[in-house]
Chain A
């Protein structure tokens, strides 16, 4: 008797729970405007400011309590899931992706790996001159462009007509660039960054996404870069080079997947880090519009009412479950991937 059970049936219980919770969060986020919640979000209920959870009584109840401004915690949680879907998860994913690509490239090619022609230099100067609107921009841009075309032509001619290969090449300092910008972004204390931003208008979702991306990508980049320095020295990379594969292909299909291994454990933590940044911004009183609901902001209202345990219980547990689910998912995926990585490509 051979019954073909579907594949997902063989998934173990913890993985099922993790997937179930994540599905619940996604559904809540997507369907939040249509759910029949007792109170709308971002609306203070002046009679019940910082009220504990109530499960019996007249009228619509605050099942999970209210925050110090009077907003209903349940509504904030549900609409916060939406914010999570629209903001924190994409920001974490994008930051991890960007960090992995940048760090992997910086680790693989270093400062002496990529060669660009000399013609690029006058071309970039011309572009910069034009954009910055320095004096006489038209004439200078034209002159610089002509110089770069001449350089390209001379390189082409020398390659074609002489035996010697062009040995005057410029090495693009990729490692210094990536490391430098990562350092710049992570060396600036977040407070200064945030105060500089606070002088402007409050951030909408798009602005906050860019901010979170800028803040989170250096950590992923450094992790991947460090791992890539190790992977670069492995024998299989040498073997691939010896076979004659182009550098880009080696990087993308062989080295990068290995170098991204620490990211599986790191990615869920980066989600937590981003939500923590949101709540610290709320704690400092800057950043999000007061009409956006977010788990981080709910947590950030705790100092105003320290004995309100429901402010930590609600978003804290939701966050904890989401993180555990993401971790379990990461573990499952990495276990699957690892079995495939045993055989070299």
Chain B
């Protein structure tokens, strides 16, 4: 009996701790959900998308993506670089840095910092292998002796992406990392050529590793708007807005250099169901990349409708099925077209994405001005598939499809495990093929081994997502014969397509581009090395009091630094 009051007291205390927090106030931190830990905040090693997002808060680059216009906008640079083509194999990009840009300790951001960063990307002994190979097209940086903020980048080759891709890496401070300027004696080309192990380079690498920038990024001054306030591994990260930031003085403030929230907290919740519950209990403010069914369910709930705002935008990620054109059964285009008729894009879109998303005839979204709308959308047509198979020389003999030189039509489909969408696509294809008498073996593969098997050609059909972008129309990495060892997994090579792809890249007028792209989409339909299913939609749910999230199809789908919180005042509802 004596312990009853103690028990009651403890129970009351426990229950009081369980009540959900009250409505958010203006100064509250903005809590965003991440599904995994960024693992490191080292600008040289960027293992996953969350790291990239965090680094964009801590550091600034020459150019940054503007989520509203889906284009690159100048951040540290004053304007987009002026492009000059030299001969037929070099490109020159002319950059001017902003006069107002400074590091935290007051020193200005100069061209020597950019030079140092580029050389650091190629320094041996640092975890920079991935970034190094991405920027290997930059051959040299020419400083201007008269203007410390002006420099020119020399790039190998003449690709249309160079103007914006060349500015998309964080600039690091030379004075803090390399006060003795030991990297200045090496030229960028010599660093790129061979892994030199001179003592100066090793000492620099050791100094960099000792600073452990991945975990203590505050040890070095960055020129981004935020500072890391706290990091509990695998649980949460907290970023605090710097009190004085150089871009606050700029008038008018460009969109990419705006940073409104005082505190941003990223909370790592690996399970989707738990994250949805946390959002509804107000333990979370922003939930990016929501699944279709969770989104529908939340929208249908009146309680959630009152408290949350829902955003849905088309993304540039295309779900597609590719064929291995090196495989003897799939070498001719009629067989590939026939197999393409066995997928059901309309049904799959309705089933997996609940109707959101866009079907397409080629690699371009229907919203693009260059979309070829005179082509019919791919549909499920088993009768046409049989007809095409017969045309290709297959005959249904003894329970299977056979062709004259003892070829049998039996397929294996590879896709990444643990993905419900891929599995549904593969199972649907298998069921449709089984109706025609084609045996299909499903082989879900782990992510790390998947790339190996795709490069080795150990598959017949694969299902994956192609990450696209609104900038430019360069499809060479996926379909050019030069890219057979790289992104062209199916091994497709045809001279007509190669010429078309190269012509698209160098087309100068919009009319010419439209003509070429329409021709390309027709060619793609004809040759059918891959079957585009649909473009995935992007869904975001956030607290109603937050606005200016800039939801878009570009990764990560929102702009954390641009969010404006209006506290307990109700904001207008968005669809």
Given A46-B348, A68-B420, does the pair A307, B297 have CB atoms closer than 8 Å?
Answer: yes
Interface string of A20-49 (1 = CB under 8 A from B): 000000000000000000000011101101
Measured in the bound complex, the distance between the Cα atoms of B417 and A43 in whole Å is: 18
A306 lies within 8 A of chain B by Cβ: yes
Number of chain A residues whose Cβ lies closer than 8 Å to a Cβ of chain B: 27
Q: Which residue of B lies closest to A304 (CB)?
A: B420
Shortest Cβ distance from residue B294 to the other chain A in the assembled complex, whole angstroms = 9
Contact A69 B427 (CB under 8 A): yes
Contact A306 B417 (CB under 8 A): no
Contact A49 B417 (CB under 8 A): no
A303 lies within 8 A of chain B by Cβ: yes
A248 lies within 8 A of chain B by Cβ: no
Contact A46 B424 (CB under 8 A): yes
> Which residues of chain B are near A291, meaning CB under 8 Å?
427, 430, 442
A159 lies within 8 A of chain B by Cβ: no
Contact A285 B417 (CB under 8 A): yes
B418 lies within 8 A of chain A by Cβ: yes
Contact B418 A290 (CB under 8 A): no
B29 lies within 8 A of chain A by Cβ: no
Given A202-B444, A290-B444, does the pair A46, B293 have CB atoms closer than 8 Å?
Answer: no
B248 lies within 8 A of chain A by Cβ: no
A114 lies within 8 A of chain B by Cβ: no
Q: Which of A46, A285, A306 has the most CB of B within 10 A?
A: A46
Q: Which residue of B lies closest to A71 (CB)?
A: B427
Within 8 A of B (CB), among A195-217: 195, 198-199, 201-202
Measured in the bound complex, the distance between the Cα atoms of B347 and A242 in whole Å is: 78
Measured in the bound complex, the distance between the Cα atoms of B463 and A180 in whole Å is: 44
Contact A70 B351 (CB under 8 A): yes
Q: How many A-B residue pairs have CB under 8 A?
A: 66
One of A70, A195, A201, A286 near B424 (C-beta < 8 A): A70
A50 lies within 8 A of chain B by Cβ: yes
Measured in the bound complex, the distance between the Cα atoms of B428 and A291 in whole Å is: 11
A153 lies within 8 A of chain B by Cβ: no
A289 lies within 8 A of chain B by Cβ: yes
Contact B418 A43 (CB under 8 A): no
> Which residues of chain A are near B350, meaning CB under 8 Å?
46-47
Contact A47 B347 (CB under 8 A): yes
Q: Which residue of A lies closest to B380 (CB)?
A: A46
Given A49-B351, A69-B420, does the pair A43, B427 have CB atoms closer than 8 Å?
Answer: yes
Q: Which residue of A lies closest to B274 (CB)?
A: A306
Interface string of A36-76 (1 = CB under 8 A from B): 00000011101101100000000000000000111100000
Contact B293 A305 (CB under 8 A): yes
> Which residues of chain A are near B418, meaning CB under 8 Å?
284-285
> Which residues of chain A are near B417, meaning CB under 8 Å?
198, 285-286
Q: Which residue of A lies closest to B448 (CB)?
A: A199
Contact B352 A49 (CB under 8 A): yes
Measured in the bound complex, the distance between the Cα atoms of B424 and A46 in whole Å is: 8
Contact B423 A290 (CB under 8 A): yes
> Which residues of chain A are near B443, meaning CB under 8 Å?
201-202
B154 lies within 8 A of chain A by Cβ: no
Within 8 A of A (CB), among B435-489: 442-444, 446, 448-449
Shortest Cβ distance from residue B379 to the other chain A in the assembled complex, whole angstroms = 13
B105 lies within 8 A of chain A by Cβ: no
B273 lies within 8 A of chain A by Cβ: yes
Interface string of A183-201 (1 = CB under 8 A from B): 0000000000001001101
Measured in the bound complex, the distance between the Cα atoms of B417 and A31 in whole Å is: 31
Shortest Cβ distance from residue B420 to the other chain A in the assembled complex, whole angstroms = 5
Measured in the bound complex, the distance between the Cα atoms of B417 and A286 in whole Å is: 7
Shortest Cβ distance from residue B464 to the other chain A in the assembled complex, whole angstroms = 16
> Which residues of chain A are near B424, meaning CB under 8 Å?
44, 46, 49, 69-70
Number of chain B residues whose Cβ lies closer than 8 Å to a Cβ of chain A: 27
Shortest Cβ distance from residue A300 to the other chain B in the assembled complex, whole angstroms = 11
Q: Which residue of B lies closest to A302 (CB)?
A: B273
Interface string of B239-282 (1 = CB under 8 A from A): 00000000000000000000000000000000111000000000
> Which residues of chain A are near B109, meaning CB under 8 Å?
none
Within 8 A of B (CB), among A90-107: none
Measured in the bound complex, the distance between the Cα atoms of B12 and A225 in whole Å is: 49
Measured in the bound complex, the distance between the Cα atoms of B420 and A71 in whole Å is: 12
Q: Which residue of B lies closest to A195 (CB)?
A: B446
Measured in the bound complex, the distance between the Cα atoms of B431 and A47 in whole Å is: 15
Contact A306 B444 (CB under 8 A): no
Measured in the bound complex, the distance between the Cα atoms of B417 and A42 in whole Å is: 16
Q: Which residue of B lies closest to A301 (CB)?
A: B420
B53 lies within 8 A of chain A by Cβ: no
Contact B444 A44 (CB under 8 A): no
Contact A289 B442 (CB under 8 A): yes
Measured in the bound complex, the distance between the Cα atoms of B426 and A256 in whole Å is: 51
Shortest Cβ distance from residue B35 to the other chain A in the assembled complex, whole angstroms = 13
One of A198, A284, A285, A290 near B426 (C-beta < 8 A): A290
Within 8 A of A (CB), among B279-311: 293, 297
B104 lies within 8 A of chain A by Cβ: no
B94 lies within 8 A of chain A by Cβ: no
B527 lies within 8 A of chain A by Cβ: no
Contact B351 A47 (CB under 8 A): yes
> Which residues of chain B are near A50, meaning CB under 8 Å?
293
Q: Which residue of A lies closest to B276 (CB)?
A: A306
Measured in the bound complex, the distance between the Cα atoms of B152 and A45 in whole Å is: 58
B344 lies within 8 A of chain A by Cβ: yes
One of A42, A46, A68, A195 near B347 (C-beta < 8 A): A46
Given A198-B446, A290-B444, does the pair A46, B351 have CB atoms closer than 8 Å?
Answer: yes
Measured in the bound complex, the distance between the Cα atoms of B271 and A317 in whole Å is: 25
> Which residues of chain B are near A285, meaning CB under 8 Å?
417-418, 444
Measured in the bound complex, the distance between the Cα atoms of B419 and A286 in whole Å is: 11
Given A285-B418, A291-B442, does the pair A303, B427 have CB atoms closer than 8 Å?
Answer: no
Contact A42 B427 (CB under 8 A): yes
> Which residues of chain A are near B448, meaning CB under 8 Å?
199
Shortest Cβ distance from residue A284 to the other chain B in the assembled complex, whole angstroms = 7
Sample of 16 A–B contacts (CB below 8 Å): A42-B431, A43-B427, A43-B431, A44-B428, A46-B424, A47-B347, A50-B293, A70-B427, A198-B446, A284-B418, A286-B417, A289-B442, A291-B427, A303-B273, A304-B420, A305-B293
A68-B293, A290-B426 known, 5 other contacts, Cβ within 8 Å? A43-B427, A49-B352, A198-B446, A199-B448, A290-B427
Counting from the closest, the 7 A-B pairs by CB-CB distance are: A285-B418, A46-B351, A46-B347, A306-B273, A285-B417, A43-B431, A49-B351
